[in-house]
Structure 1
């Protein structure tokens, strides 16, 4: 039950009926919203339809307020509407009858873990590809990678819960110069495993994590690689090192409960075994559309980079699709640019039939967004949407002091070290308590505090506290049936206290939060919602400490207690559901 979607549909029907009568032009219902009012004293629902369509209907209505007044009069006739009135220049505020919220709580109990699932069902289900992490396979994941990993995984779960089909994808950057550097670094560890004393020069990867790779190479090849020229050993060492690094990355991700559906190799895009490579095929398609030409680029603004060349280049007409300049597809040595590979990669996704592509990148890739968006528009004819979500850096702290170094990696703290220290739940929830494009300070000491200042503890404790209420109920009423089916038959009209009503109203918002967060690709909205829900629950529970008549379990008021236990169970259902979507556990007890 989504009361916001329900009233949106009712208002859309009113607008259509007025259109069918010839009083209004055709109006797009996607343009207006029904949402909770900013001030709860204004009612239960707020709608901006009259404001949004003011210009469209000015020939019929003098102003938005007059338009809203007619809509309010029609809505006031509904059986479940207590009052509909106009505020300000034309905002529509709706107050519902108390019985509506009994139905909401009944819907929560009936839906159980599926309450809110498919909340975006008003929109055609889409096939969505979420590509996230995609860290270079050159070492263990660091905390910055972890933020993108958690964000992408939670977003994929959220979109899936909202009703679309989701594929989780990892793009393995295994074709660039960095994997050759990895191979040379691993080769030194191979020689070290054979008994040599080695020094890791600047520019190679110094971390101890490559020692097992060197040992494995020594066991497999003995000393046979040691005296070969680099051209002979590098491909073998590179493949072995990449495979080992990907095993390590998968293991790090598994520690965060993250599993991808697809691991896509960049190197495969350059494979000629079937004739034309994917990169060449993608550029041929763009060329056939007249979107590739030979030309010169203007020099970059400001100080020229050392590698800039004023030369004739193969360029993609990305400015036709909103980019600032056209983009190079080949380097001066004739090899393809990274952008050319990325074009081919996104072409493969488009060919797979996805309606929406979501790429989760680090904030340092922000300058790459326009060109990639241009390429997707050109390749899909505008039929496939690309949304690039940038994740800002994470500053790792301990009691307010920066934490910088790791013995294992050599120059950064690994994600696995953080997960092992504070736990997966803390890492995931704290990573989602800030919008992805906002910097994040992650204090290792604070995220394990058992206090209201620690958001993950605060939300999980609300779920555990709800369970404790049910355990208390069984001690007071040993014969009580706490199944959702039995609680749904309770007299929910008895939930008259303002705190109880506020809790039911926030439960009613859950499907809307799911829909809005999934549509905007913003899982932090769900984290915020869960924190607000937990805060309301804790506040109401504290009221019961001072006012015995508000306690959830009262030995002398069994019927009222049953209604309140239904409310507690509804809270528990939504907290567990939302935490599950975010990949966080909902414990029954806190220790």
Structure 2
């Protein structure tokens, strides 16, 4: 049941009737007709812009269309009142039976309530995290992991076929640096003193890797030049880091469907194939680039390079894909990787990057648009920085990593569920303040607690009902006489439940899972508000003297818990059964 879609369909049908009767012209475009919650709840339950958006193509005054449409709408038993407001908006108030039907639908559908076929099975690849395999994931990676995972779940909930993918950046020079760092730990495992040049990775997390290498090869690499050990140690270190990263992701409950390797693109012809595909479109040429805008570096030297004509697809400048020495730039394997994804048959691609990748957006979108002739859209979501504080002080260091706070540190401090929820309390492109003390508070100001407390409260009502001998399992609640949900405050809570299917589709369409967290907070607030009103008005309490009335009231509360559980499921958070 999607109440907003249902009333929109009613509106479109009413417009079609008016066209057949000659009241309005036939063939008017209705794509822009919307049915939405009004900005001010005092104006009604819903509002439609139908008359406003159709006035110009109809050559009519908005109020003339609105007046005719209101007559049609009020003939439907679901609508109590439809009123024209302002220049031609229509405010709608729904009947009590609608809100009772919403509760019934939630109980009947369970956590599937709000699921949508909007995606129509479209295949979507969501690539996220994709950290260099040089150490444990840090707090910034944590935000990208949570955002990407929640977005993937949201798209699945909205009817898409989603693949979660991690791109291993193991083709660059940083992996050689990792190998040399592991080699140092290997030497230390042999009780040898080593130097740590600037740029190496001296974190304690490599101690175990060095010891593991010693256990594998003994002293075979001691006192040997790196030509004897670099490749083997590089592979060993890369595998060890990816094992560590997988364990970090498991702490968050993140499971990838696919791990793709940058290194695997080299020497296989895949990079060449992608560049040849662009060359066949006339988009690869030899040329020179202008110096960066507004500055001329002292070492700037105009030199001929192989360039991709990315400006044809909205980029600021054309981008080099091959160096003057014949080697590939960092951009070339990324083109090949995205070309591979398009060849795998995905209908849409989503990349989740850190804030430091902002300059990469236009060139990557240009490459995908060029490779697919615009057929496969690429959306790149940037996750901004996370400021982690405790006791009013910013946390910057990890005992294990030495230079940054790790994902494991964050989960150890506050737990997986809190970590995931808090990471979604801001839009992905807004900076996030993560106050460890605040997110562990039991107060309304802590959204994690507030939502979990709402679910736990409903579970406590169910337990108390059982103690009082009131049968209130889901089957009994589905059979309850919901006409006893008759107070405007109860209807308001049911109205919030009715928004859930619409919210899912909007959040999925805009790729914004934070909307789910915001909605859950509002729904929890409605439940808490009704609970508090019951302190003064006993008729609003969920447990009444009459068992049948109790079941009706509990049915509303249970519906709230069902939707909270569904929303938390999208966010990857377990709903609380009780608060401790």
TM-score by length of 1: 0.95
How many residues matched? 579
Residue 414, structure 1, aligned to residue 414, structure 2: no
Rounded to whole Å, the distance in 2 between the matches of 1:19 and 1:554 is 51
Residue 590, structure 1, aligned to residue 570, structure 2: no
Equivalent in the alignment of 1:483: 473
Equivalent in the alignment of 2:96: 98
Rounded to whole Å, the distance in 2 between the matches of 1:19 and 1:311 is 66
Equivalent in the alignment of 2:333: 341
Equivalent in the alignment of 1:52: 53
Question: Hey, which bits of structure 1, 4+ residues long, moved more than 6 A?
Answer: 19-22
User: Deviation digits for residues 296-332 of structure 1, max 9, x if unmatched?
Assistant: 2222112345665311121111111111111111123
- Following superposition, the deviation at residue 226 of structure 1 comes to 2.5
Rounded to whole Å, the distance in 1 between the matches of 2:187 and 2:339 is 42
CA contact (8 A) 1:399 1:446 kept: no
Residue 173, structure 1, aligned to residue 169, structure 2: yes
CA gap of 1:487–1:186, structure 2 versus 1, over 3 A, is same
Residue in structure 1 matching 2:466, options 465, 474, 477 = 474
Rounded to whole Å, the distance in 1 between the matches of 2:176 and 2:265 is 18
Matches within 5 A, 1:477-556: 478=469, 480-555=470-545
- Following superposition, the deviation at residue 90 of structure 1 comes to 2.3
- Report which stretch shifted further, 190-199 or 121-130: 121-130
- Following superposition, the deviation at residue 20 of structure 1 comes to 7.0
- Following superposition, the deviation at residue 549 of structure 1 comes to 2.6
2:56 match: secondary structure: coil
Name the Cα RMSD after superposition. Answer: 1.7
Rounded to whole Å, the distance in 2 between the matches of 1:365 and 1:67 is 49
Gaps of 5+ in 2: none
Rounded to whole Å, the distance in 2 between the matches of 1:123 and 1:217 is 48
- Following superposition, the deviation at residue 169 of structure 1 comes to 0.4
Residue 198, structure 1, aligned to residue 194, structure 2: yes
Matches within 5 A, 1:269-288: 269-272=265-268, 277-288=269-280
CA contact (8 A) 2:493 2:523 kept: yes
Equivalent in the alignment of 1:460: 452
Matches within 5 A, 1:193-232: 193-232=189-228
- Following superposition, the deviation at residue 269 of structure 1 comes to 1.3
Equivalent in the alignment of 2:560: 571
Rounded to whole Å, the distance in 1 between the matches of 2:308 and 2:219 is 48
Gaps of 5+ in 1: none
Equivalent in the alignment of 1:183: 179
CA gap of 1:130–1:306, structure 2 versus 1, over 3 A, is farther
CA contact (8 A) 2:520 2:567 kept: yes
Rounded to whole Å, the distance in 2 between the matches of 1:156 and 1:589 is 28
Rounded to whole Å, the distance in 2 between the matches of 1:299 and 1:577 is 52
CA gap of 1:24–1:537, structure 2 versus 1, over 3 A, is same
Equivalent in the alignment of 1:43: 44
- Following superposition, the deviation at residue 360 of structure 1 comes to 0.4
Equivalent in the alignment of 1:11: 11
TM-score by length of 2: 0.96
CA gap of 1:123–1:398, structure 2 versus 1, over 3 A, is closer
- Following superposition, the deviation at residue 553 of structure 1 comes to 0.6
- Following superposition, the deviation at residue 109 of structure 1 comes to 0.4
Rounded to whole Å, the distance in 2 between the matches of 1:85 and 1:308 is 68
